[in-house]
Amino acid sequence: METDTITAISTPIGEGAIAIVRLSGTKAIQLTSEVFKGKNLQEVDSHTINYGKIIDPQTQEIADEVMVSVMRAPKTFTREDVVEINCHGGMVAVNRVLEILLTKGARLAEPGEFTKRAFLNGRIDLSQAEAVMDLIRAKTDKAMNVALKQMDGRLSGLIQRLRQDLLETVAHVEVNIDYPEYDDVEEMSHEVMRTKTREVHGEIEQLLQVAKQGKILREGIGTAIIGRPNVGKSSLMNTLVQENKAIVTEIPGTTRDIIEEYVNVRGVPLRLVDTAGIRETEDIVEKIGVERSRQVLKESDLILFVLNYNDELNKEDVKLFEAVKGLEYIVIVNKTDLEQKLDLDRVNELAEDRPIITTSLLQEEGVDELEKAIANTFFSGDIDSGDLTYVSNVRHIQLLNQAKQALEDAMEGIELGMPMDIVQIDVTRTWEFLGEIIGDTASDSLIDQLFSQFCLGK
């Protein structure tokens, strides 16, 4: 089948010395060879890298010195012929190369079109395609690993197995229904169903549990720093940014990329939240009251609550403790280099079972302990085990929740002794929800919407 040949710059704009122009489609190799000076690309072996020059056909000038990877279908990302042109001459040269290819008849790829082709050609399934998108957005090494595992098809594999299990169980029960001469058919069906639905339910729950950590890895821990004026909030922020390389990321998909600041604490990405002024809040409780502060603070995943070792606890502090009650927070008692005026026993009482870290930010003391506490809050060691399948995609999580709900309906039906064909309806729904995760029952519009979220060139 002939496909039109698409092209795009597939490296982030403005980053790095080398940029890659990628082509995919029936004429990818022919088009490139027409403007390439070097070996005849139409005759080179597949999966080879070839040195040469891109020549502007109009002026005969050299546009750039390049290395060209030639990859013939089907062993390519899109399962079409793919060419990757590594340009060395910076952005101007890259753009010229792209323009030359466009004048030769390649079409500029839509956002996510390469990945969409990979999906449509059966090279990857939907959850893997989404993993590619996550990978583009991954903020830290850990988040990258999660995305990579998903791309390997781990999630798909697990989902497929669960679906298969459900299908087999339904078939099994179906057989029983068809042969009512067996004794105790109904009882037997219920037993088979009960066992299997419990099992699958347990697996879905586990996926959802790990999903919380996955979300954090992918999106960063939304972190608010609160405390009275002058306790050291700005100092804390500065320390975290200086000690840990701040990661600046660009979120693709917007007309102008939003720049976000992340701080990587022991592999855990902290996103210093700046919504509703909670990034550094001096008098939030005074301003909007305990209840509303609580609502605002609830939006962050972690609260760093700073107290002054050199000052007595006052009403404002107590109000802040009320506002954070039950939320995820760490108490930081700062300025330990100064005289103690703070009643630590009282702080202990107020802080429930949350960690209390003492620091002198001025003398750079206690920062290590604080970072440890931050990391421990979210990852009690098991995240690195590598055996778990992570779900870090909002759509997947939603579908898993729906699948779980449908399964619970089925389980309830079983306990109530409902007829099997009624129970089966819920089991089938579960099966469908799981299928949507891997794109089996996904509608075209969903697929279009998903792929349009990819950045250009992927």
Backbone angles phi, psi at 133, to 5 degrees: -65, -40
Distance separating alpha carbons of residues 66 and 454, to the nearest angstrom? 26
Q: Does 295 bind Zn ion (CB under 5 A)?
A: no
3-class secondary-structure state, position 105: coil
Task: Answer yes or no: is 10 a known binding residue.
Answer: no
Taking alpha carbons only, the member of 382, 323, 335, 332 closest to residue 354 is 332
Q: Does 230 bind Zn ion (CB under 5 A)?
A: no
Closest contact distance (angstroms) between CB of 267 and ligand GDP is 26
Q: What are 393's two structure tokens?
A: 């995609």
Distance separating alpha carbons of residues 112 and 110, to the nearest angstrom? 6
Q: Does 234 bind Zn ion (CB under 5 A)?
A: yes
Q: What are 340's two structure tokens?
A: 């103690």
Nearer to Zn ion, 236 or 383 (CB): 236
- Pick the piece of the chain touching ligand GDP (CB under 6 A) from 252-260, 285-293, 357-365, 395-403: 357-365
CB distance 420 to 186 below 8 Å: yes
Residue 379 DSSP class: -
Task: Answer yes or no: is 255 a known binding residue.
Answer: yes
Site map 323..352 versus ligand GDP, x via CB under 6 A: -----------xx-xx--------------
**Which residue of 26, 121, 160, 235 would you call a contact of ligand GDP, by CB under 6 A?**
235
Q: What are 164's two structure tokens?
A: 């298969």
**Which residue of 234, 275, 314, 449 would you call a contact of ligand GDP, by CB under 6 A?**
234
Q: Does 239 bind ligand GDP (CB under 6 A)?
A: no
Q: What are 278's two structure tokens?
A: 């909670």
Tally of CB atoms within 10 A around 164: 11
Task: Answer yes or no: is 251 a known binding residue.
Answer: yes
Backbone angles phi, psi at 19, to 5 degrees: -125, 150
Nearer to ligand GDP, 361 or 414 (CB): 361
Tally of CB atoms within 10 A around 263: 23
Which of Zn ion, ligand GDP, none sits in contact with 281, Cβ below 5 to 8 A by type? none
Contacts of 93 (CB under 8 A, 6+ apart): 63, 64, 87
Task: Answer yes or no: is 354 a known binding residue.
Answer: no
**Which residue of 147, 231, 296, 407 would you call a contact of ligand GDP, by CB under 6 A?**
231
- Pick the piece of the chain touching Zn ion (CB under 5 A) from 20-28, 45-53, 148-156, 229-237: 229-237
The CA-atom distances, in angstroms, between 35 and each of 28, 30, 250 are 12, 9, 33
**Which residue of 23, 332, 361, 373 would you call a contact of ligand GDP, by CB under 6 A?**
361
- Pick the piece of the chain touching Zn ion (CB under 5 A) from 96-104, 228-236, 256-264, 269-277: 228-236
Q: Does 364 bind ligand GDP (CB under 6 A)?
A: no
CB distance 161 to 438 below 8 Å: no
Query: Judged by CB under 5 A, how many residues of this single chain contact Zn ion?
Result: 2
Q: Which residues, listed in sequence order, are joined to residue 307 by a DSSP beta bridge?
A: 333
Taking alpha carbons only, the member of 105, 80, 128, 109 closest to residue 21 is 109
Q: What are 27's two structure tokens?
A: 């004429």
Q: Does 195 bind Zn ion (CB under 5 A)?
A: no
Q: Does 96 bind ligand GDP (CB under 6 A)?
A: no
Task: Answer yes or no: is 145 a known binding residue.
Answer: no
Nearer to ligand GDP, 31 or 357 (CB): 357
Nearer to ligand GDP, 205 or 337 (CB): 337
Task: Answer yes or no: is 227 a known binding residue.
Answer: no
Q: State the residues that interact with ligand GDP by CB under 6 A.
A: 227, 229-235, 334-335, 337-338, 360-362
Q: State the residues that interact with Zn ion by CB under 5 A.
A: 233-234
Query: Which residues does the annotation place in the binding site for GTP?
Result: 230-235, 249-255, 274-277
